Structures are given as structure tokens and as C-alpha cells.
Structure 1
Amino acid sequence: MRRLVPIAATLALLLALTLLWPSRGARAQDATPTPTVTVTDTWPQGDDLTLGRNQNFYLHLAYRSDTPVGIWIRPYFHGEPAKAGSNPSARYRGEGEALGWFFFMQPGDEVDEIRITAGDGRVDHTPVVATYPVHLTGGFDPVADETLPDWVQQLRARDKAQQQVPRQAAASEPISAGTVAFFSVFMLAMFAIGLVGLVAPAWALWRWRGGWRVLAAIPAALMAWTVLNIVVGVARDATSHNLWPFEILMFGGLSAASIAVMALFRRVFRRES
């Protein structure tokens, strides 16, 4: 009995620590200050506006955060997310200015509230920190010669410069020999699949007889249509088939797989007969 007392006490202590640990973590999480974001200006200005087709609505934001956070704006109408495209977000820390914007996906849509969220991007860690009531409607006519205020131009230029930094860093890194070899093998494999997709049906039409030749005519017609469609499309518009190698690959792979399955069944049926 005496030996069981220390064991029971140890188990009780571990159980208490287990029960208390989540609450301690929750208190630590709750103790993290929530970022603050306020709207200091908008463009266009006004509380009831009709935007032009594909025109952006900009918000001049002032933020304060002790930890790196992203800041996003989400337009709503009658409590539901509006059909709109909005800005991506950099990481902000300390105090400063940020630019938020959105545009309507289609004319005629409306927005009556803009919710501003800040956090690390996860749903449970990116709360709504501010709301901005405004009535906006997507217009049907484009806006001509829009002159943006200085704060929009400056913050857009800053965001663009920040986005180019990782791209320039990635471009300056040397490409490894393994990467070059992988892409070389990949491209050769794609070329081989497309070539087999073109040649295999033609070979089957020449060698096979009867119903098998009729079946082989299906992938042959598919490849003929694919090539003809690309040739005619490029003749009409040089930019209509910029990804034509992938079209050849997709339909060529289907053609090659079809001929392979037909050849397998043809061999099985010939053995049985």
C-alpha cells in the first residue's frame, strides 16, 4: 500500500498538469495583443458610389501590431461575402500605412460593408479588426483618365517594390545541374509521349484488319482533329494556342494509352482463338 501512494501521487500530478496545460496555452494566446487597423481615407471618396467597370476601390489603412501580420479587406453585402477580387497582403509589423483594395467581379453587384482582418492567415488566427460601412455598386462603363491620389500611387509603388524583392532573389540563384537534368528528361518524356500518340494510331491502321482497324481509327481521328485544330487556330490567331505542346501531350497520351489497351486485348483474343 505504501508503494502505491507515490505512484498515485505522480499520476495525479501528471493529470493535473495535463488538464491545466491547455488553459495556460489559451491564456498565453489571449494575452497576445490584437492588431489594430483603422481606415484613414478612401478612393474614390464618398459613402454611396458607383464604380466603373474593373475600377478598384482603395482604402488607406493605418496599422499597429507587435507581431508580423497580414492585412486583408473583405467586401460584404447583406452579411454575405460579395463577388469581388481583393488585394494580397505583405507582412506588417510595428506602426505604418497599408493599402487595401478590391474590385467587382461583375457589374451590378453591390457592397454595403468592408471587413478588415489581420493575422497570420489562418481562420482562427485572423480576426476581423475593423469594419467600414459604405454602399458601392459595380458599374457597367469603364472609367477614363482616372487620376489617383498621391497616397495610392506611393503605396502601390511600395507594394510593387516589395513583391519584386523575392522574385529578384529567386532569379539570382543559380540553377542546379539536377534541376536542369530533371527538366531535360521531363521535356524529352513529354515529346516522346506526344510522338507515340501520333505514330501509334497510324501504325495500327496500317497493320490491323477488321474491327480492330475501326477501333484504331478513333484515336487516329482524335489526333488528326487536335493537330488540325491547332494549325487552323494559329493561322487565325497566333496567340490562340500558346500551350499547344500540352494539347499534343494530353491528347497524345490518351491516344497512346488507347492503342496500348487495344493491342493488349487484341493479343489476348488472338491467343484464345
Structure 2
Amino acid sequence: MNIPEGKKVYFASDNHLGAPTRKESAIREKKFVAWLDEVKQDAAAIFLLGDLFDFWFEYKTVIPKGFSRTFGKLAEITDAGIPIYYFVGNHDLWMDGYFEEELNIPVYHTPQEFTFNNKKFFIGHGDGLGPGDKGYKRMKKVFTNPVAKWFFRWLHPDLGVKLAQYLSVKNKLISGDEDIKFLGEENEWLVQYCKRKLESEHRDYFVFGHRHLPLEIDLNNNSKYVNLGDWIHYYTYAEFGGTELRLKTYDIQK
């Protein structure tokens, strides 16, 4: 993708809408929608890197209640011809066509590579990558198993959603909230993952979410790892105007 002059590519992650309750997250949702409304003015594309919701499951005819402001703004943006790309996170693994069919947003379940103005980007949510995190990796295999999804689908939505939201907050393996602090480059498993990927092929930028920490780490002289932070504590995002990826903070007073 060649980015036209005056246009930018935007990246955001980890809104966890619905947590701890829909009412309490409504304030954060309005700020996120305001950000979307602002960046659509010069966006060449928008990348949302997962955990937009604290829980998401698509029954055949039902989706979780709420988030109408977000859906409306996403539809408005794609209807205007601005592409949005979505990467599922550990809280919204169970996406199954709604975004594609209703919002015209492609959904990715694994990291993908994109090239913007000859800069190579490796993009994903970040959960389950790199060394360690074995407990979550085992749990993710269960969650993504078609049989497990089939059984969960038979729970009434009122029961299934309530149970999943409870576990999403209480179970640290699901929430990913065990280590929301910088562990040092040598212990940050996404940093280690990026360095291993560089052994086989150069990428200019590795962009992930999941860690809830805004991070910019030079992997070598030509490659950088960027973690997008979150829209709970930091309200951070990244923008690429054609030459350099920059991590920024949205003015939460708006």
C-alpha cells in the first residue's frame, strides 16, 4: 500500500469495552469513538489489534448487547471507503463473520505482514507468541477448539455471556493481566519473539497489543517493536505517515 501524501495509517488496541461493566466502560467507548471520528479525516487505513471487547461471542443470530456507538462509527468509516483491519485478541477469539458481513472489516486470527511505502510491518494482537506463557497457550487451544465452541453455543446467551464475562475478569490466564508491568527486554516474550523473526527476514516494524503497555523498543538499527498500550489507562495509539511509526497519546479531555 502506498500512502498518499497527507494520509496516515493508524493502529489501536485493547479497549476491553464492557469491562468492568458496560455502564462504566461507556465513558471510554465515547472517547474511542471520538478518536475514530478524528482520525477518519486523514486515515488511509485503520488497524484494530484485538480485545476491542472484554468478551465477544457470535451465536448464529445473537451478538453481545451494547457497543452501538462503536459499531455505528466503524460502519460509517468503512462506508466512506476507508479500510479497517481487525486482529482478534484473547478476549474476542470467537469472531465468526459478523465484522466481515455487517461492517465490511476483514478479521485476522494470526499475525499478518503489510508493506506501507516500502516499510515492512508485522502486525498482530500478540497473545500466545514467543517463549513461555504455556498456561495460556494450552487454554487457547481449548477456546479455539470447534467442539468447545459448539458446546458453549448451546448455553443460553444470558447465561453464556454472564459466565464468560465473569471468567474474563477473574481468570488471569484469560484476562492476560498477570504481568502488566515492564519486565525488561530480556524477559518481554514479544521482544524475544520479534528478535527470532528477524533472524529469518527483515521487518521494519513489529506492532502488537495485548501487553497493555505503550512500548517502543529498538530491536536493531533498522527494526523496532511497538506495543500500542491500551484504552483503559493510557489511551495510546500509533500513526504512520509514510516514513516513521510514532506512538501517541489521545487527549482524553476531548
TM-score normalised over the length of structure 2:
0.20
Q: Which has the larger radius of gyration?
A: 1
TM-score normalised over the length of structure 1:
0.19
> Which is bigger in relative contact order (C-alpha 8 A, separation at least 6)?
2
